[in-house]
Structure 1
Amino acid sequence: MHSKPIKILLIEDSLEDFVIIREMLRDTNNPFQLEHADKLKVGFEKLFNESFNLILLDLNLPDSYGFDTFIRTYDQVPELPIVILSGFNDEDVAIKAVREGAQDYLIKGEIDGKLLARSIYYAIERKEAEKELMKTHNDLRKLISWHEVELKEKEEEIASLIKEHENAEVKLINAISNIKIEKLKFDFLIDQLPVGILVVDAVSGEPISKNKKFEELSSEFVEIPEILEVCPYKGFYPDGSPYKSEDWPLMRSIVMGEEIEDEKIIVLKNDGTKSVISNSSIPIKDDDGQIIIGMSIFSDIIED
């Protein structure tokens, strides 16, 4: 037995049928509270002013007839379960109403209190399940819509990043092209100089540029293969002691950041004679102060 009161609105123009239904519900010993309206308009007024759990609806009323009665009622209170009370002559209409949203239909003269009570409870439960299903459906639609918006934003973000990458790539290609052009200009200019120029990468020690004069000097002096990049010649101090790899001006520039100007170094030539060269060297730094390039200038002074 259910203890929670269930408030029912019976919209029925037959007073006799109202009495029969009222007595049926009383006999079930369930907590039904039945109210009556003999016209659809009266029923709507009650629905507007009071709260109900369920509607028992006769389709044939003085101010409404057939399927239209259900449609008008459903449009008024779509949240309430509606159980159709049908006569034999409008059973097809009642079935159609069920398809359109009514919870059940009962044929007058073929029901008793037990069947009516069960139909009421089932109608309420089905309507609650329908509401929950609709809420879940709406929640899913909102979730899908939210994800669609998020996906669109991600797509736009990715498209923007791709565009930025493409722009950056174009700029990089242009920059590389400009660097190559500038290097060609630089190489051309230093080839015109009467002194040897050697430019190396500060990290690897690999040569970046060498001019013609440097190549000429390199061909005359004895080279030391293992330290060829930054200190290409076999050199000596004026007292005859040999230069170590870390002593060469270019090495001191890229490692210690020294700026060396016009340091005299004795070098051994391929023919066994000696020559004195002047070697200047400077470090070149980036915007953060890191040494990235070393440049050395060589000039042949005299032969010994």
Structure 2
Amino acid sequence: METGNNTRRISSFFLLGFSENPHLQLLIFALFLSMYMVTVFGNLLIIMAIITQSHLHSPMYFFLANLSFVDICFTSTTIPKMLVNIHTQSKTITYVHCISQMCVFLVFGELDNFLLAVMAYDRYVAICHPLYYTVIVNHRLCILLLLLSWDVSILHALLQSLMVLQLTFCGDVKIPHFFCELNQLSQLTCSDNFPSHLIMNLIPVMLGAISLSGILYSYFKIVSSIRSISSVQGKHKAFSTCASHLSIVSLFYSTGIGVYISSAVVQSSHFAARVSVMYTVIIPMLNPFIYSLRNKDVKRALERLLEGKL
């Protein structure tokens, strides 16, 4: 006897979104369209400022430009499809599109994770080994770290996608989310394959733990180095170079961990969708503001860019 429909027989899923109340759809559409436009425009400004301003051609801003690009792609993976569904009053997403969306989302989600770790390493070398900074963090190493981040992220996303393709789904293919999220898809399956489910949940935790451990170690060494600086001005200057990055790291990991813990504790059909907005939409939107307001070089570059001074 078959335990469920095979994945090949499923042509589409249904994304339930945030609410099934039709009166809220216009408000949700306007709110997320506004946040999406701010995210894209703000991160594009950061990228253009770094490219056009020669004094920002350094490893720190090279990684920041890549982080802004990844944030644009990360948000573009989910929000446009949600806006189209609201506009067309359709909750359907095809099976192929759903798996593709999940795969691309995992790629850029892990890239965010790895780039934050790479940027922490960059700040560690700059503060703890300033005399050797240009020798250690050279152009070749920057490209190598970026390519390594891309390779691991893509391999992880492909592995997870292949595992999902092997799953058998039951009759109910309603996803209480605004995009095809890995955990939500795994909950719809009626496949009793414990090793696959264990790997699907364990690998993201391991990758996140590795990156977070690297960040914590880097900041432990940074704090130790700053404490050894005698002058207050010197301590403030050293700390100011990593204040923006530390703010993003705190937001990204605290909300990411909070989402997974709260989703496991609170059983609500739309709860996971609501809390995941923080790290999928809000943080990518806040990144340009945090870096422009707390970084004088970026703020000055953006002012020159908006004034048309290249």
Query: Normalization by structure 2: what TM-score?
Result: 0.22
**Higher-Rg member (1/2):** 1
The structure where strand makes up a greater share of residues is: 1
Which one scores higher on RCO, CA 8 angstroms, separation ≥ 6? 2
In terms of fraction of residues, the more helix-rich structure is 2
